[in-house]
Chain A
Amino acid sequence: MRDFVIFGDSTCDLNRELREKYEIEYVPMNFVLDGKEYPASLDWEAMTAHEFYEAMRAGKRITTTQVPAELYSERFGQCAKEGKDVLYVACSSALSGSINTARLVAKELMKQNPEVKIICVDALNSSFGQGIQLMWASEMRKEGKTIEEVEEFLLKNRNCVNQCGTVGKLDYLKRAGRVTASSAFFGNLIGIKPIIISDAKGQNFAIKKAKGFQNALKDIALHQKEMGIDLKDQIVYISHADDETSAIALGEQIRNETGCKGVFLDYIGPIVGASVGPGTIISYAIGKEETTIGEV
Chain B
Amino acid sequence: MTITHVDGEGLKEAILAGLANLKINKDEVDSLNVFPVPDGDTGTNMMMTLEGGASSVAGAFYESAGEMMKTFSRGVLLGARGNSGVILSQFVKGFAMGVEEKKTLKTEDFRQAFGKGVEKAYEAVIKPTEGTILTVMREGFEALLRNCPGDFNETISLLLKEMRTSLAHTPELLADLKEAGVIDSGGAGFVYIFEGIEKYMKGETIDATENLLTNPKDSGQMDVSAFNADSTLEFGYCTEFILQLQNAKVNISEFDVSTIVDYLETIGNSIVAVKDDDLVKIHVHTFKPGDVLNFCQQFGEYITTKIENMSLQHNETLIVKETKPTKKIVKETAIVACVTGDGLEQYFKEIGVDVIVKGGQTENPSTEDFVSAFGKIEAKTIIVLPCNSNIVMAAEQAAELSQDAKVVVIKAKSVAEGYSALSMIDSSQSAERIIRDMEEAIKDTATGMITTAVRDVDYPDLSVKKGHYIGLNKEKVLSDDADRVEAVRKMLKNTEGIKDKYVAAVFYGTSVPKDELKKIESILQEEFDWLEYGFIYGGQEIYDYIFAID
Chain A residues proximal to chain B, CB less than 8 Å: 181-182, 184-185, 187-192, 206, 208-209, 211-215, 295
Contact = CB atoms under 8 A, between A and B. Distances in A.
B502 interface: yes
18 contacts: A181-B428, A182-B426, A185-B426, A189-B351, A190-B505, A190-B532, A191-B502, A191-B505, A191-B533, A192-B423, A209-B425, A211-B420, A211-B502, A211-B550, A212-B501, A212-B550, A214-B502, A295-B428
Contacts, number: 71
B423 A209 contact: yes
Contacts of A214: 502
A191 B550 contact: yes
Given A187-B422, A191-B505, A211-B503, 16 more contacts: A181-B428, A184-B428, A185-B426, A187-B350, A189-B505, A190-B423, A190-B532, A190-B536, A191-B534, A208-B426, A209-B423, A211-B423, A211-B502, A212-B532, A212-B550, A215-B502
Interface in B422-454: 422-428, 437, 441
A168 to B, nearest CB: 12
Contact of A188 (B350, B420, B437): B350
Contacts of B423: 187, 189-190, 192, 209, 211
Contacts of B420: 211
B351 A184 contact: yes
Interface in B448-497: none
B505 A211 contact: no
Contacts of A182: 426-428
A191 B427 CA distance: 19
A211 B428 contact: no
Size category of the B interface is 20 to 34
Contacts of B536: 188, 190
B352 interface: yes
Contacts of B504: 190-191
Nearest to B505: A190
A213 B427 contact: no
B350 to A, nearest CB: 5
B502 A212 contact: yes
Contacts of A190: 423, 503-505, 532-534, 536
A190 B524 CA distance: 14
A194 to B, nearest CB: 9
B134 to A, nearest CB: 37
A181 B426 contact: yes
Nearest to A211: B550
Interface of B: 347, 350-352, 420, 422-428, 437, 441, 501-505, 531-534, 536, 550
Contacts of A215: 502
For the residues of B in contact with A, the DSSP-based class is mixed
A213 B532 contact: yes
A184 B427 CA distance: 6
Nearest to B501: A212
Contacts of A295: 428
A187 B65 CA distance: 54
Contact of B532 (A184, A185, A188, A191): A191
A184 B426 CA distance: 6
Nearest to A187: B351
Contact of B424 (A181, A188, A209, A213): A209
A131 to B, nearest CB: 30
A213 B534 CA distance: 14
A209 to B, nearest CB: 5
B311 to A, nearest CB: 43
Contacts of A189: 351, 423, 505
B426 A212 contact: no
Q: Nearest 4 A-B pairs (CB), nearest first? A: A212-B502, A191-B503, A190-B534, A182-B428
A8 B44 CA distance: 71
Contacts of B425: 184, 209
Contacts of A212: 501-503, 532, 550
A191 B531 CA distance: 9
A214 B550 CA distance: 12
Nearest to A188: B350
B502 A213 contact: yes
Residue among B352, B423, B501, B505 with max Cβ neighbours from chain A (10 Å): B423
Contacts of B441: 211
A207 to B, nearest CB: 9
A109 to B, nearest CB: 43
A190 B532 CA distance: 7
Residue among A181, A188, A192 with max Cβ neighbours from chain B (10 Å): A192
B352 A184 contact: yes
B426 A206 contact: yes
Nearest to B441: A211
A209 B503 CA distance: 13
Nearest to A216: B502
A192 B427 contact: no
A184 B424 CA distance: 10
Residue among B422, B427, B428, B533 with max Cβ neighbours from chain A (10 Å): B428
Contacts of A191: 502-505, 531-534, 550
Contact of A187 (B352, B428, B533): B352
Given A190-B534, A191-B532, A191-B534, A211 B424 contact: yes
A134 to B, nearest CB: 33
A28 to B, nearest CB: 36
A190 B347 CA distance: 12
Contacts of B437: 208
Nearest to A182: B428
A193 to B, nearest CB: 9
Nearest to A190: B534
Contacts of B426: 181-182, 184-185, 206, 208-209
A182 B429 CA distance: 9
Contacts of B350: 184, 187-188
Contact of B503 (A187, A192, A206): A192
Contacts of A185: 426-428
A155 B198 CA distance: 85
A166 B232 CA distance: 64
Nearest to B353: A184
Nearest to B500: A214
A246 to B, nearest CB: 13
Residue among B347, B532, B534 with max Cβ neighbours from chain A (10 Å): B532
Contacts of B531: 191
A192 B533 CA distance: 10
A145 to B, nearest CB: 42
A176 B166 CA distance: 66
